Structure 1
């Protein structure tokens, strides 16, 4: 444990359940590194990810973005390729990009968007894009003919949330430099989306625990019953 972490940990009561406002103010206060730390939210859900009817996945545009510049790759042809370029996508192509990824192990991008007619081609990359969480998916809005909207939303701060094998969702909600007010707004928008995404098959308490932390800071527990307050 570094000196900064130890000092920050002293500010957090491990047994307390903080309000959203208190937690975000603490997250900013405990981010003591010289770089602009990311503030991340971790939500443990009362679902069993092994069952298809208990998957929690979606995407939401955070009002203040994530503070990170995102490189977008779009698989499209013809007019849709032109639209993607005009919307600001860094990379646009088809089979040529598939070959580049396969042959050069190239991953200089953060999000992948594809038009539905390109999914047969993109499917060849399932084994490499899937484990990295980069495979386009209709639920997250990354398989669409409206590439302009998809690229613009991603650039504006769209984040994808997805429950992992341990039933936890990890999502960044901004940077320390945002200040607590903007982080709180981003947090609430994210939590509303996760609450709405509750599978009908999920029984019992849906939101088991919620925590926020900076990149190098301690975890801060948020009262899971009051995340929208």
Structure 2
């Protein structure tokens, strides 16, 4: 894979054989974020779980204290009073059955998170084939299937992120932007790690955190010392 000049230069700042502590890793990741735009800083957490087993699935959500730095567009499936509540809380899009053909047939996907009241899940279920592969299906574990739409929308707007295992048992989540201060990135990262450590499946034998890396969108990754999170 050919890397650009900037990437190669930035990578020289990182010792690939070193496992850094959080403070050093955050300082380094800011240093290697050299793209012309405000890069997202992401955490990639490789676990020892086997997501094929239901009791080793990891899925949840956490509100990052300093948000993600991204404007999140929220779609809420709700009716009547709950629909009004969602609008008042700041949801960009609110609707019910009428949104199904728009998403299914017209390919409308101008939203980042979907919230639904439990009574609307029958309707949302029809969109499983479209929303599922994009990770947009509302889920009670992530707090996106709820009667408390006000709290759900406000949490998402405040920087709530969802974490889950991908097919290779890795969790990929944003922890902020390159323009954040080191302290903001550190707080966000620590909050995420606390939630993931708490989510360790009780049935898991052996090592839980195989590797933890933080990286800017376009830059090299910085590996952390996982022993610090044990």
Task: Please state which band the TM-score falls in when normalised by the shorter chain.
Answer: over 0.9
TM-score, normalisation: structure 2: 0.98
Give, in angstroms, the shift of residue 98 of structure 1.
1.2
RMSD: 0.8
Structure 2 counterpart of 1:223? 225
The whole-number CA distance in structure 2 between the counterparts of 1:193 and 1:217 is 26
Secondary structure at the aligned position of 2:6 is classed as helix
CA distance in 1, matches of 2:144, 2:83: 14
Paired positions, count: 228
Contact 1:20 / 1:227 at 8 angstroms: preserved in 2?
A: no
Once the two structures are superposed, the pairs formed by residues 120-131 of structure 1 within 5 Å of their partners are 120-131=122-133
Aligned to 1:172: 174
Match of 2:98 among 89, 96, 99: 96
Aligned-pair CA distance for 1:21: 0.6
Instruction: Look up the match of 1:200.
Output: 202
Q: Is the 8 A contact 1:19 1:227 kept in 2?
A: no
> Where does residue 118 of structure 1 map in the other structure?
120
Aligned pair in 2 of structure 1 residues 180, 227: CA closer, same or farther (>3 Å)? farther
Tell me the residue number matched to 1:21.
23
Deviation of residue 227 (structure 1)?
A: 3.8
Shift of residue 34, structure 1, vs aligned partner: 1.3
User: For residues 130 and 18 of structure 2, what CA distance do their matches in structure 1 show?
Assistant: 41
* C-alpha distance in structure 1 between counterparts of 2:205 and 2:116, whole Å: 35
SS at match of 1:104: coil
Q: How many Å apart are 1:97 and its aligned residue?
A: 0.9
Distance 1:6 1:127 in 2: 40
What is the distance in 1 between the residues matched to 2:137 and 2:201? 22
Write out per-residue CA displacement over residues 143-172 of structure 1, whole angstroms, 9 at most, x where no aligned residue: 000000000000000000001110100000
**SS of residue matched to 1:63:** coil
Equivalent residues in 2 for 1:130-141, closer than 5 Å? 130-141=132-143
TM-score by length of 1: 0.98
2:192 to 190, 193, 196: 190
Deviation of the 1:117 alpha carbon = 0.2
- DSSP-derived class of the 1:226 partner: helix
Instruction: Say which of 137, 147, 150 aligns to 2:149.
Output: 147
SS in structure 2 of the partner of residue 95 of structure 1: coil
Partner of 1:161: 163
